[in-house]
Amino acid sequence: MLENRIEGAAREAAGQAHDVVGKLTGDLGEQTSGKINEAAGALQKRYGKAADQLQDGFNRTAEGVQGLYGELDQLLQGRPYVALTAAVGIGLLLGMLLIGRRPIVVRKA
């Protein structure tokens, strides 16, 4: 998320400034606080970058699925018997796979 990247960069810069001020004044607390803020800002920036990459990947996947759905819809509209045959074949295949997992019991009368 862009907000996290911007806030992280600002926090990192502020942390660096605190670190410099702490070094110049000899204030160990200020210097430590600066290092902590710098690290937190860097982490927030990385989080924002990762979130952006994840969102971009999700958007590309969604676009690909929508395109595939459109192509499949056109295929099914133009060839309904092929679609029916494919559905029956998939159903039979799934049925055979599920039955294959259970033993078939034959009872004698």
Q: Is residue 91 part of a domain?
A: no
User: Quick one: pLDDT at residue 80?
Assistant: 85
- Domain assignment of residue 8, yes or no: yes
Domain count of the fold of the chain: 1
Q: Does some domain include residue 63?
A: yes
Domain presence at residue 92: no
Residue ranges in 1-109 assigned as alpha helix (H): 2-25, 28-78, 80-101
Residue 98 domain-assigned? Answer: no
Q: Let me know if residue 99 belongs to a domain.
A: no
The residue segments making up the domain with residue 57 are: 2-78
26's enclosing H/E stretch is none
81 pLDDT more than 80? yes
Task: Provide the whole-model pTM.
Answer: 0.58
Q: Does residue 39 carry a pLDDT above 70?
A: yes
What are the angstrom distances between the C-alpha of 45 and each of 12, 15, 39, 57, 109?
9, 13, 10, 18, 74
User: How far apart are the C-alpha atoms of 95 and 93, rounded to whole Å?
Assistant: 5
